[in-house]
Structures are given as C-alpha cells and as structure tokens.
Amino acid sequence: MKRALITGITGQDGAYLAQLLLAKGYTVFGLVRRSSTAEGAALRLRWLGIAEQVTLLDGDLTDLGSLLRVVAEAAPDEIYNLAAQSFVKTSFHQPHLTGEVTALGAGQMLEALRLQAPRARFYQASSSEMFGLVQATPQSETTPFYPRSPYAVSKLYAHWMAVNYRESFGLHINSGILFNHESPLRGLEFVTRKITDGVARIKLGLARELVLGNLEAQRDWGHARDYVRAMWLMLQQDKPQDFVIATGRTASVQDFCALAFGHVGLNWQDHVTTNPAFLRPAEVDVLTGDAAKARRLLGWVPEISLEQMVAEMVEADLARLAAPGG
C-alpha cells in the first residue's frame, strides 16, 4: 500500500487528489497549518465524504523543522506540494506573505524531501499564471515565462527550484503547469465560483445583480478532478518531467457568465455589472494551454467539458443555498 503526503489537502485540488488516491488504495496524509479557524479546514474533505479516511498532520511550509517531522512521520512514497497563497488579487495586497508561502515554502518542502525522503516522488504545483504576458499562443512547456503578479512570480521561483533540485540531486521531481481548473469546491473568492454562487443567489431570489471585474479576460478552464488525475499520472512515470495540463479551449469571463446564467434560464446581461475596483494592477489577458506532451506521454485527456463543469458548479451552489442554513 503506497503512502502519500499532500500539502494543501484542505483546498480544492488537495481534496480531490486525496479522494483519487484513497480510491487507488493509498494511505493519505495531509499537512495542515493550525489556526483559529482550523475546525473548518476539512470542510471540502467532509463534502467529499473522506474526512475520516485521511490523517492530518500539523505543520507549516515556512517552518522547515515541522516539515522534516511531518515527512518523517508520513514516510511517503509520493509527496504532492499543492499548498500556496493562491489568490492572485491577494498577492498584490500581501506580496511578502505570498513569497514566503508560495515561493520559499516550496523550497522548504523540496529541502525536506532531499533530507528526509530522497526516494519519494515529488509533485510541484506550478501555474499557467507564470506565462502571464504570453510570448506565444498556445503555451507549452517550452514557452517563455512572463509573470504578471506576485503570485505568478512566487510560483515561478518554486518551479525553477523544483527543476534545480531535480537536476542537482537526482530527485524524482515533477512540475505540473496547470491551467485554470475549477469545481464546486473552488473558493468563493475566485471568479468562476463567484459567478456560479451569484447565479444561484439570483435564481433563488437572494440577490439581484452580480458585480465582476474584467469580463474580457480569457482562460483555459478545466475541471479539478481531471487535473488531479494528471498529477498522479506524472508520479507514475519513470522519468521526472514538467507537463502543461490544459484543455486547449479558451473562454472569456463573459462566456462563463453566459453558460452559468443560461443553465438556469437567465440572461447574464440582465444581472451582471462591472466595477473597476475588481481589476488587477497588471492583467493577464488570455491563456491557452497546449497539453500535447501530456497526451503523448501520460495518456491524459480531459474528460469533463466546460459546459458540464459549469452546470455542476451551478447545481451545487443552488443545493447549498437552498438547504437549511445555506
């Protein structure tokens, strides 16, 4: 029975990954940072019905000592580093914190791997935001990076540290350059979930309008369940590499609104307004991924369409808000 350690296990990707690994017979450990709101940390794990099947261990990406202890206790065959300060807007407000956790924290995790579990296979969660002001379309593993936010800069540091540790120490380290991936477990601060939550509230008569920022921004959106499957596939390969994971289909925020409102029989133009306060200081206008390498070497293809994902998210928010106490 394989053992896996997931940092960021209480987030969207961590929860779906834990569910996938448990289904494959893994023993799953998760790194959690203690806080005053720790009791609600396992909300997503409970939503998936797996909270009692994982072992949560106290630790912090900014504290190497705690990481060494957690890795020793978990004795993992595979480590998935998904933890980060991952909200782009917040990274502009808290750039130092974002750098400490998302950049230096990944470096601490790599050092814990090197010192405590050098035979374990390691996955680093890189991001399509690293492409930023895109230098070529679509973006592949060889496209130059041009980050446009403190979050993206931090992810780029972590990405190159992963490459350096792989090449310097011969460790089995893989980076997944994942394009945007969503689900009902996405945080409400992200635009896709903000949209589906807003649609549900308007449909149920709890709100009348939805205020957004840049409707023209275009992203390559996939489902988190498909993307965590790609993470696992990377660690099953003999040769560690970096992979772009994407659908190859780009849609705008406006397109996403049209799908979400259309799912409940509403016209998005009747309810959506914009506010410049929600714009980023430096915008990433369009991202489109080329996952040909993942298709060729991993046999990975996305199985859930954009339309299916949006419908699932809207239905989940409708059910949540209609429930007692929702």
Q: What digits encode the pLDDT tens for the residues 210-235?
A: 999 999 999 999 999 999 999 999 99
151 has catalytic annotation: yes
Q: What average pLDDT does this structure show over 34-61?
A: 86
How far is Cα 237 from Cα 184, in angstroms, rounded to an integer?
30
Domain extents in the chain: 3-182+224-245, 191-219+249-285+304-322
Contacts 24+ apart (CB under 8 A), 155-158: 155/84, 155/102, 155/103, 155/126, 155/127, 155/129, 155/130, 156/130, 157/99, 157/103, 157/104, 157/106, 157/107, 158/84, 158/102, 158/103, 158/105, 158/106, 158/107, 158/124, 158/126
The architecture CATH gives domain 3-182+224-245:
3-Layer(aba) Sandwich (3.40)
141 has catalytic annotation: no
Instruction: Specify the DSSP element, H or E, that contains 7.
Output: strand 3-7
How far is Cα 20 from Cα 9, in angstroms, rounded to an integer?
12
Catalytic option among 86, 91, 126, 127: 127
- pLDDT > 90: percent of the chain: 90
Does the pLDDT value for residue 40 go beyond 80?
A: no
pLDDT at 36: 46
Catalytic option among 80, 151, 157, 227: 151
Does the pLDDT value for residue 33 go beyond 90?
A: no
How far is Cα 178 from Cα 287, in angstroms, rounded to an integer?
11
pLDDT at 208: 95
Per residue in 153-191, pLDDT tens? 999 999 999 999 999 999 999 999 999 999 999 999 999
How far is Cα 94 from Cα 85, in angstroms, rounded to an integer?
9
Catalytic option among 129, 165, 175, 227: 129
The separation between the first and the last C-alpha atoms of the chain, rounded to the nearest angstrom, is 39
- Tell me the angle at which helices 105-116 and 150-169 cross, rounded to the nearest 10 degrees: 20
168 has catalytic annotation: no
pLDDT at 259: 98
Does the pLDDT value for residue 238 go beyond 70?
A: yes
Task: Say how many C-beta atoms besides its own lie within 10 A of residue 283's C-beta.
Answer: 15
Pick 191-219+249-285+304-322's CATH classification: 3.90.25.10, 3.40.50.720, 3.40.50.1370, 3.40.50.620.
3.90.25.10
Residue type, 152: A
Per residue in 84-136, pLDDT tens? 988 788 889 999 999 999 999 999 999 999 999 999 999 999 999 999 999 99
